[in-house]
Amino acid sequence: MDTNARPAVLEVRGMTCDDCARHVTAALEGAGAEEVSVTWRTGEARFAWPGGIAEDALRSAVEGAGYRPGTLRLLGMGISKEGIDGSTDYDLVVVGAGSAAFAAAIKATEAGYKVALVEHGTLGGTCVNVGCVPSKALLRAGELAWAAGHHPFAGLSTSSGPVDLRALVAQKDELVGELRQMKYTDLVSDYGFTVIPGHGRFVSPEVLEVDGRSLRARMYLVATGASPAVPSIPGLAEAGYLTSTSALELTEVPKRLVVIGANAIGLELGQFFLHVGSEVTFVDVAERIAPFEEPEVSDALASVLTSQGAGIHTGAQVLGVRRSEDHVEVRMRVNARELDLACDEVLVATGRRPNTEGLGLDAAGVTIDGRGALAVDDELRTTNPRIYGAGDVTGAPQFVYVSAYEGALAVDNALLGAGRTLDFTGLPRVIFTAPQVASAGLTETQAAAAGYEVETSVLPLSAVPRALVNHDTQGLVKLVAEARTGRLLGASVLAEGAGDVIQAAVLAIRHGITTSELAATFHPYLTMAEGLKLAAQTFTRDVEKLSCCAA
């Protein structure tokens, strides 16, 4: 290959099938182009353009094959001045500026496309600003505060005094600012895409209006994320409440806190306030906390929280909220009995709703589903073939790594014609309580619903040497396997560092590893990861009767 060859893309009109792509490939190679890749669905030919090969020669070759050459563009140099067919401002306009949006913008600009992000708020979206980063920074502080006053080791004298929440929040805000600058703001100039401040609204299937300015793009990506959902509870709005966003800004620890919602967000933030001195009560309409996890995990985590002093009411319907002069009263019905809880603050953690309002989706011909999320197919295409969706706004699993995955996949399909489909096999999820809950793949119930005949193993942490030396055996490992083949379908871990342990299970599930193969794999002794090996051995052996590291 010519070392001076430049990557380029040529629009080719008139292609309708794979044979067309092969004809164009042969024509360009005959004209001297190298590493030619042609996709008829997107009407593009991508190749290395050697020095000394005239543009006219390339165009003539395509015309000689019976097709119409369009704009020829050097990758990495942006769109040509006249635009695509003389009518667009950008190859890709992304509405939003969070994880999905930046993943898409980076992927597209690296491929040489001209990209703009439209954002009416702060760069970085939920994760860095009001989600993962700030919450986990505070959670870690809460864990240390609790551990200082509640450790299991003889001969150690430690204590934990009152927490200066104002100082913790200030430190958290500093970290957020640094990461937002490093991982988002600085990347705009590093990659060379454009950020357009303002609110984006479609006024037609082809045009996005941003505060009165009309933009036309070859393709659009809606990546506007999601916001805290607040249920319709009588008196709640009048009494006032915290969400996962505003709770991170409190500068004083509430004496008493009621958390409505006991899934990931509610459990994490509720335990944080428990750890820094609040009297915390969890309330959930489901019959158990962490209702999407394995029942054994839910029960064990509930035991941990109650042992730390939390109250838990499940199967509870909140009837109303009322604020008096010195407290807030939450009225609920549990097991046909009405109960009043007095508290100082109410934290609502009942999920998040996709941000689709005000986008002009009707004018764009884009459908939303019953949850208010963008209706997308398995290639992330909406009902308007020029508009794709990615991240929390699509109703996908609301994890930042899923958003980034979808942003890149959307670009692959919208601009590169890859035809990739979503694949969440072995997708991990983590609840950052202490101990952590981490899961991957299917739960026992999900596997059975999918038609699998399954067998399971449940290993208590009391059988894991790492937990014994930590003097902390609250937790377990559960594996779900296909009964006929032994193939691992799902894994759940409740333990310190479970979020790190689960990655081995992710790989095992994605690559079809069996429990016997997992049991035969080396796992370092005195790590929580060894729990996976022991749980796998449990399918065929009594691990209580094995010596340390016995194979």
Cβ neighbours of 33 (radius 10 Å): 23
Which regions of the chain carry the CATH code 3.50.50.60?
Answer: 83-228+351-424, 236-349
pLDDT at 551: 73
Options 77, 182, 525, 549, the catalytic residue: 549
Options 15, 219, 343, 528, the catalytic residue: 15
Query: What's the Rg (C-alpha) of the chain?
Result: 27
Which tokens sit at 381? 């295409």
Cβ neighbours of 481 (radius 10 Å): 24
Which regions of the chain carry the CATH code 3.30.70.100?
Answer: 6-75
Share the mean pLDDT of the chain.
94
Split at pLDDT 50, 70, 90, the class of 499 is very high
Q: What is the pTM of this model?
A: 0.85
What SS3 class is residue 330? strand
Give the lowest-confidence range in 199-203, 313-317, 368-372.
Answer: 368-372
504-514 pLDDT, tens digit per residue, is: 999 999 999 99
pLDDT at 3: 61
Options 90, 132, 343, 452, the catalytic residue: 132
Sign of CA dihedral 121, 126, 129, 130: positive
Instruction: Please state the rounded mean pLDDT for residues 221-237.
Output: 97
415-473 pLDDT, tens digit per residue, is: 988 889 999 999 999 999 999 999 999 999 999 999 999 999 999 999 999 999 999 99
Asked if residue 84 has pLDDT above 60, the reply is no
Domain 6-75 CATH (choose: 3.40.50.970, 3.30.70.100, 3.90.960.10, 3.40.50.170): 3.30.70.100
Options 20, 219, 343, 528, the catalytic residue: 20
Is domain 83-228+351-424 given the CATH code 3.50.50.60 in the classification? yes
Place of tokens 């082809």: 206
Active site residue 343: no
276-304 pLDDT, tens digit per residue, is: 999 999 999 999 999 999 999 999 999 99
Sign of CA dihedral 432, 438, 443, 444: negative
Active site residue 15: yes
Options 127, 219, 332, 343, the catalytic residue: 127
Active site residue 17: yes
531-542 pLDDT, tens digit per residue, is: 999 999 999 988
Which regions of the chain carry the CATH code 3.30.390.30?
Answer: 428-545
Active site residue 525: no
CA distance linking residue 57 with residue 53, whole number of Å: 7
pLDDT at 542: 86
Asked if residue 52 has pLDDT above 90, the reply is no
* Portion of the chain with pLDDT greater than 70, in percent: 97
367-413 pLDDT, tens digit per residue, is: 999 999 999 999 999 999 999 999 999 999 999 999 999 999 999 99
Indicate the pairing of strand 436-441 with strand 488-495: antiparallel
514-528 pLDDT, tens digit per residue, is: 999 999 999 999 999
* Portion of the chain with pLDDT greater than 90, in percent: 85
pLDDT at 525: 95
Q: Which segments within 105-230 are labelled E, that is strand?
A: 115-119, 194-197, 200-202, 207-210, 213-222, 226-228
Asked if residue 81 has pLDDT above 60, the reply is no
Q: Which segments within 223-363 are labelled E, that is strand?
A: 226-228, 256-260, 279-284, 311-314, 316-323, 328-334, 337-343, 345-348, 352-354
Question: What's the fold here for domain 428-545?
Answer: Enolase-like; domain 1 (3.30.390)
Domain 236-349 CATH (choose: 3.50.50.60, 3.40.50.300, 3.40.50.2000, 3.90.105.10): 3.50.50.60
Options 1, 388, 525, 548, the catalytic residue: 548
